[in-house]
Every structure is written in C-alpha cells, then in structure tokens.
Amino acid sequence: MEVDNNTIYCKLCLTDCPEPETSTLCSCECTFCVQCLRQYVPLAIKGGAGGAITCPDPACKNTGTLLDSEITSFAPGDQVELYQRLRFERSVQLDPNKAWCPVLDCQAVCYVTPGTEGKPTPVPCPTCHVVFCCACRGPWEDGHSCSQHQPLMIPSEDSGLAGTDTDAVIKQCPVCNVYIERNQGCAQMLCKNCKHTFCWYCLQNLDGDIFLRHYDKGPCRNKLGHSRASVMWNRTQVVGILLGVSIIVLVTSPLLLLASPCILCCVCKPCNAKMSKKIKRKDKKTSDSPA
C-alpha cells in the first residue's frame, strides 16, 4: 500500500498538511487546510455583516472570494442561514430602490419609486399598508417635511409609527443606515458595517473623541453607561499611552541624532570601498609572506 507523502503548506496554521486534508479556493486558487477554513468561515460570517467572504490570505494577488458552495462546505447549517439572511439584508440596504418598513412588527421590503432616492417621497408598505417617507422613515402626512438620519421609529398605538425616541432599542447608523440594536452597556456605538463611531442618544460623530468628552456636557451628560471612575480610568490609560510614546520619541531622538554620522558612514559607498581595499591589501601581504 502506497502512502501519499505530498504535503501543502497552510498559511493560516503555518504547518505542512497532507494534500487530502486541504482545499483550494476556486476564485483565487489559494490552498489552505480544511480545519483552518472551518474555523475561518464562521468567524467571517459573524463579523462580515453579509458582505463577501474573501480569501483568508491578506497577500492574495487575486483577492478571491468564497463561493456559496464553499461557504456551505466550511460552515455549519445555522451559520450558513445567518450568512444568507445578512446578505439579503445588506442587498436591501445598498439598493436605492428598496427600503425596510419602519414598523418593527412588520419590517417588510418596500419599493421606492426609481429616481427619487433620498428625496421626501411617500412609500407604501405592501404588508401593513403604512405610508412612510423614504428619506426619514417617518409617517407620511400632507405637507410632510423631514430631516435625514433620524433614529429608527418605534411603533405607537395610534399610527403604528412613532417619532424619534432617545431610548429606542433599535436605531440606524447615521452613516450607512444599517439597523443596530442596543440591549445594554456603553452608549458609544461602533457600526460593524462602516466602522463609524457615534453616540447612541444623539447620533453625534465620536470618531475623534478618544477621551469621550461628549458625555461631559450637553443633553448626553453622564449617559455613557459607565461609572465616573471607569471613565477616568479610560482617560488615564489613553493619556498614559500618549505620554509613553512621547517619552520614547524624546529619548530616542537625541540618540538617533548622535548616531546619524556613524549610520551615514556605514552606508557611504566610498568608505566601504576604502575599507575593502585595505582588507584586500592585508590579505595579499599575508599570502605573499614566506611560510
């Protein structure tokens, strides 16, 4: 009985795996062991928000994407269903001619009149028959006026829709309009779809607020969701990191300035040529000397 000794190097686990235990992706022809792909694909589904699952090799020249059949092979059935649902939701969010019904008990896919994307236009829901504005998702009324990027509306007993609610459990990202649910915890939100950081209550941009000073004043004062001590500890850590980097730069800068002539001298080609000539002369004299 012949033994197959052919092995293939897997860039994920950094080991040589037997060829039968590996799989080659169809789109880019990169090869990985099956065990690594079975770990990678479920993680990519959870963090990908329905986007295409790309080749796990960051240096892949073809930037390949996994086929549906490959995702089905390397992920459990529940993860495959999750991926299909997220992909469908993403396709609706990215399609300017489609919109979700803002009634939470409905959430049907509605169709926007072509050519009116972003403009205040009434959109009827085919399921619950509520008419809402395609721009702000508010109830459509005569003389309707709206503002973009309002939080998701919560159903009310009267109209099935409600106005803005700072305590809403589900809201939309102010950048990409993806629906986000907050059960508890910090009010500083990070959208997994577009990586935008914002305040849950007022939807203000927090991308550059590393000290979270937004929660020191205004209507969101003391609404971060953490104790004052934890906020101060977070700021102390940030300040400590910045001070540490600054001290390292200040200490190393004079040393680099002092060592720069030596570095330049080592790099200088004429100096290297002179040193090599001297070494050759010494070697020649040594070889010419009588034994």
pLDDT at 149 over 50: no
Where in the sequence numbering do the catalytic residues fall?
A: 186
Q: Residues near 191 by Cβ (< 8 Å), separated by ≥ 6? A: 173, 175, 176, 178, 180, 197, 198
Task: Judge whether residue 35 has pLDDT over 90.
Answer: yes
Q: Which residues pair with 254 in a beta bridge?
A: none
- Distance CA(29)–CA(60), nearest Å, equals 9
Which range has highest mean pLDDT (20-29, 115-124, 194-203, 244-253)?
Answer: 20-29
Which domains does the chain possess?
A: 7-91 (3.30.40.10), 95-163 (no CATH), 166-233 (no CATH)
Q: What is the per-residue pLDDT across 254-281, written as a single tens digit (0 to 9) for each?
A: 776 776 666 666 655 555 555 555 555 6
3-class SS of residue 63:
coil
pLDDT tens, 225-257? 765 556 666 667 767 777 777 778 777 777 767
DSSP secondary structure letter of residue 31: E
Task: Please answer whether residues 220 and 235 qualify as being in contact, where contact means their C-beta atoms are separated by less than 8 angstroms.
Answer: no
Vertex 118: Cα angle to 116 and 120 (nearest 5): 75
Distance CA 80, CA 45 (A): 8
6, 16, 92, 224 from 2: Cα distances, Å = 12, 19, 54, 66
Residues 172-186 pLDDT 10s: 788 877 767 776 678
Give the torsion through C-alpha atoms of 160, 165, 169, 175, to 10 deg.
100
Q: How far is CA 125 from CA 134, 179, 215, in A?
A: 11, 18, 38
Would strands 98-100 and 131-133 be described as parallel, antiparallel, or unpaired? unpaired
